[in-house]
């Protein structure tokens, strides 16, 4: 009797196992999805302060010095100095005008020197051909001639006194002085003195 009960129990267990196996096979498979396989797009919002346009500073014009030459002509003179690459000598050009003509544009000397920068008549022809000058008493044309000539000497000699001597007495006359050991004259000294007055702000004095 005991053996029969054990056999019935074993049989029941076997049947239960078979039934469970069949049920598991009939269930649909569960598909797992990885979150990492289909990530949500990441949108990063960056907050930025509005950029205000920076206005470029205006280019500063030349300093207007205390001399009897109007501002327009001073600016014209400075621009010529820039063109001929002697802008650092712009105050010197004004000192030369002062020394040569006392800023009188119509002055003609006894030795035939004309205008603000006292361009000698011997130089008129070649300067007219070179620069297209038609009137050496015209303020702008006269300044153009003077700045051009002075720039040649400043670039050539790289010395203010030599440049001033060549401007005042011509290169041939200046070379004679240099050969004699003379590198400064009354002309160079008084021009330098007037340059100092211009730069100091004291300006023109009669």
| 140-146-149-151 Cα dihedral, nearest 10 degrees | -80
In a domain, 3, yes or no: no
* Domain limits for position 135: 71-200
What CATH number is given to the structural domain containing 184? 1.10.530.10
Q: Are 73 and 139 contacting, i.e. CB atoms less than 8 angstroms apart?
A: yes
Q: Is residue 35 domain-resident?
A: no
Residue 148 covered by a domain: yes
82 found inside a domain: yes
Q: How many distinct structural domains can be found in the chain?
A: 1
* 34 within domain boundaries: no
- pLDDT tens for each residue of the chain, 206 residues long: 444 455 555 565 656 555 555 444 444 444 343 333 333 433 333 343 333 333 343 356 799 999 999 999 999 999 999 999 999 999 999 999 999 999 999 999 999 999 999 999 999 999 999 999 999 999 999 999 999 999 999 999 999 999 999 999 999 999 999 999 999 999 999 999 999 999 999 999 88
Residue 185 lies in a domain: yes
Residue 65 in any domain: the answer is no
Kindly report each contact of residues 147-155 with a partner whose C-beta sits within 8 Å and lies 24 or more positions away, as own/partner: 147/77, 147/80, 147/81, 147/84, 147/86, 147/93, 147/117, 148/80, 148/84, 149/119, 149/123, 150/86, 150/89, 150/92, 150/93, 150/96, 151/81, 151/84, 151/85, 151/86, 154/86, 154/89, 155/85, 155/86
């Amino acid at each position: 009797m005991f053996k029969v009960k054990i056999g019935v129990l074993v049989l029941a267990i076997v049947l239960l196992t078979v039934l469970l196996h069949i049920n598991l096979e009939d269930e649909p498979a569960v598909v797992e999805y990885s979150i990492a396989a289909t990530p949500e797009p990441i949108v990063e919002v960056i907050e930025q302060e509005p950029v205000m346009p920076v206005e470029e500073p205006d280019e500063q014009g030349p300093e207007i010095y205390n001399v009897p030459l109007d501002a327009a002509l001073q600016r014209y003179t400075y621009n010529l100095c820039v063109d001929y690459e002697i802008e650092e000598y712009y105050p010197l050009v004004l000192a030369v005008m002062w020394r040569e003509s006392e800023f009188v544009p119509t002055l003609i000397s006894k030795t035939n020197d004309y205008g603000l920068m006292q361009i000698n008549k011997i130089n008129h022809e070649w300067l007219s051909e070179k620069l297209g000058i038609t009137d050496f008493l015209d303020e702008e044309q006269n300044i153009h001639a003077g700045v051009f000539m002075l720039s040649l000497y400043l670039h050539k000699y790289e010395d203010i006194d030599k440049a001033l001597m060549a401007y005042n007495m011509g290169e041939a006359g200046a070379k004679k002085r240099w050969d004699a050991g003379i590198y400064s004259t009354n002309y160079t000294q008084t021009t330098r003195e007037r340059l100092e007055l211009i730069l100091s702000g004291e300006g023109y004095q009669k």
